[in-house]
Structure 1
Amino acid sequence: MPVTLATWNINSIRLRETLVKRLLTEEAPDILCLQECKSPVEKMPLETFRGLGYGHVVARGQKGYNGVAILSKLPVEDAGDLDFAGLGHARHVAARLESGVTIHNFYVPAGGDIPDRAVNEKFGQKLDYVREMRDFFRENRPERAILVGDLNIAPREDDVWSHKQLLKVVSHTPIEVEHLAEAQEAGGWVDVTRADIPEGKLYSWWSYRARDWDAADKGRRLDHVWASPDIALAAHGSRILRAARGWDQPSDHAPVFACFDL
């Protein structure tokens, strides 16, 4: 059965409820994974989404920060959550489809502005978080699993507008890229987006600071879709809905899509 999945850092599910409704109406993915919901679960507008056919929800939230949610047309069961680096944040939730496929939805810490853990605690937390992802997947090798979310790291040189200029900018520093590669390798994860779109510049995030983000096009690919090796070949149709970055009062991220023949 073909399943279309999307991942999107929405930057406040309540503030951008209308944008989520638009995506669900116009694009109609079977599953939408949201990050940075910035709301307790009980205050998320879930009834609105249920009214659009997304009657199955697995979510973790907290007031004003973080928060992850999985909205699904298909039946799913809650498969728990993980608290890497002991932050006590709502940064992960998992859901299991009736087919046995588990979907992991992650929101990795952004890491602050200074790429030095000695002077920036947030950067250290980010590195610790990704390292603990690595350790978990080494001990719990994923099978029939999909990992999505805002991983807040652009790993490849063509995942950023300027590799040279961003080498010392948080999200593309060598140590972050190395940590993410180790986490990916530990689980045997396949980068589905790049398997489908192997060449060329590709972005899912554009800063709010750019007056004309579209013309400047100084983007980064921070949002990812990975699959365990046993189902990676079932993935196809990857795309980034760049147009959503230009919607009214947008998130600074664009949704990333992939299809899976499950």
Structure 2
Amino acid sequence: MSFTLATWNINSVRLREDLVARLLEEEAPDILCLQECKSPVEKIPTAAFEALGYKWRVARGQKGYNGVAILSKLPLEEAGAEDHADLGHARHVAGRLENGVTIHNFYVPAGGDIPDRAENVKFGQKLDYLASMRDAFHGARPEKSILVGDLNIAPREDDVWSHKQLLKVVSHTPIEVEALGKTQEAGRWVDITRKDIPEGQLYSWWSYRARDWDAADKGRRLDHVWATPDIANAAHSSRVLRHVRGWEKPSDHAPVLATFDL
């Protein structure tokens, strides 16, 4: 069984329903994981996606913010959702394919602007969320699983446009990178994107604030595809669809894809 999986922070699935449909038409991934859907589950658009063959869906939603969904051409059953750190946020949902592979879709808190939990509650929530993920993976080591999503951390020096200038900027601070590393280690997750593309600058997010995001190219790799060691070697063909960031009225994130032969 071979399937291609995509992850994309869509920044409102209702506002960008046409962009989701365009991606599904042009790239035709078998599975699309969306974050920051900003919609209650019952109001997530489905007709256009189902018409393109995406008949299966699992989701968690909230009005106006957060929200995660998995759209699939392949039969998919719900495999739970965790409220890590007890934030009451719709930030995780899991689905299981018929071959037994579990797909976890995460939207980790962004963490605000100040990298200090004493001054910024949101930063503390982000660290607590990662710690809760870490503890969950320690408690039940995942197997035959894929983890994707907007993890809101660019861990490597070449995952950001300037390591030196972003060391004190939320998403690349040492404390966040360490927390993400411990979470990854707890589940023995393999970074599939960097397994396939081990060298060089690589980004999946470019700020709306940049007048010309493409020319400035001040990006960060915030969106990730991980897999457990038992299936990591089955993954290949990772890529970031940078051009999608240039579509009309886009999300500030680009889709990240990988193919698995299982």
Same fold (TM over 0.5): yes
Match of 1:53 in 2: 53
One-letter identity of the residue aligned with 1:108: V
Give the alignment of 1:129-168 within 5 angstroms. Answer: 129-168=129-168
Q: How does 1:134-213 map to 2 (within 5 A)?
A: 134-213=134-213
Q: How far apart, CA to CA, are the structure 1 residues paired with 2:216 and 2:194? A: 23
CA-CA distance at 1:42 after TM superposition: 0.7
Query: How far did 1:2 drift?
Result: 1.0
Identical pairs, percent: 80
1:2 aligns with 2:8: no
Please list every run of at least 4 consecutive aligned residues from structure 1 whose deviation after the TM superposition is greater than 6 angstroms.
Answer: none
Give the TM-score, by structure 1 length: 1.00
Deviations 1:38-94 (A, max 9, x none): 000111111221111000000010100000000000000000100001001000000
Structure 1: give runs of 5+ residues left out of the alignment: none
Amino acid at match of 2:195: A
Quote the Cα distance in structure 2 between the aligned partners of 1:255 and 1:210. Answer: 19
1:3-41: per-residue Cα shift (whole Å, max 9, x none)? 100000000000000000000000000000000000001
Q: Which position in structure 2 is the counterpart of 1:15?
A: 15
2:227 counterpart residue number: 227
Unaligned runs of 5+ residues in structure 2 are none
User: What is the one-letter code of the residue matched to 1:47?
Assistant: A
Alignment-mate amino acid for residue 179 of structure 2:
H
> Within 5 Å, which residues of 2 pair with 1:62-81?
62-81=62-81
| Paired AA for residue 112 in structure 1 | G
- Report the equivalent of 1:114: 114
Distance 2:34 2:114 in 1: 26
Q: Provide, for residues 167-204 of structure 1, a one-character-per-residue CA deviation record: whole Å limited to 9, x for no partner.
A: 00000000000000000000000000000000000000
Distance 1:103 1:42 in 2: 22
Count residues in correspondence.
262
Secondary structure in structure 1 of the residue aligned to 2:185: helix
Q: CA-atom RMSD, angstroms?
A: 0.4
Offset of 1:156 from its aligned partner? Answer: 0.1
Inter-partner Cα distance in structure 2 for 1:232 and 1:121:
36
Letter in 2 for 1:163: H
SS in 1 for 2:20: helix
The aligned amino acid for 2:200 is: G
With the length of structure 2 as denominator, give the TM-score of the two structures.
1.00
Query: What SS class does the counterpart of residue 258 from structure 1 fall into?
Result: strand
Distance 2:138 2:151 in 1: 18
Counterparts of 2:46 and 2:107, CA distance in 1: 20
Paired with 2:135 and 2:60, the residues of 1 have a C-alpha distance of 23
> Which residue type is aligned with residue 235 of structure 2?
A
Alignment partners' CA distance in 2, 1:92 and 1:18: 24
Is 1:96 equivalent to 2:90 in the alignment?
no
Q: 2:238 is matched with which residue?
A: 238
CA distance in 1, matches of 2:173, 2:85: 20
1:42 & 1:132 partners in 2: Cα distance?
28
Cα deviation, residue 103, structure 1: 0.1
> SS at 2:179's partner residue?
helix
Deviation at 1:155, TM superposition (A): 0.2
Code of the residue aligned with 1:115 in structure 2: it is: P
Q: For each residue in 1:188-246, what CA deviation from the matched residue of structure 2 results, as whole angstroms up to 9, or x when unmatched?
A: 00000000000000000000000000000000000000000000000000000000000
Q: Secondary structure at the match of 1:110?
A: coil
SS of structure 2 residue aligned to 1:136: helix
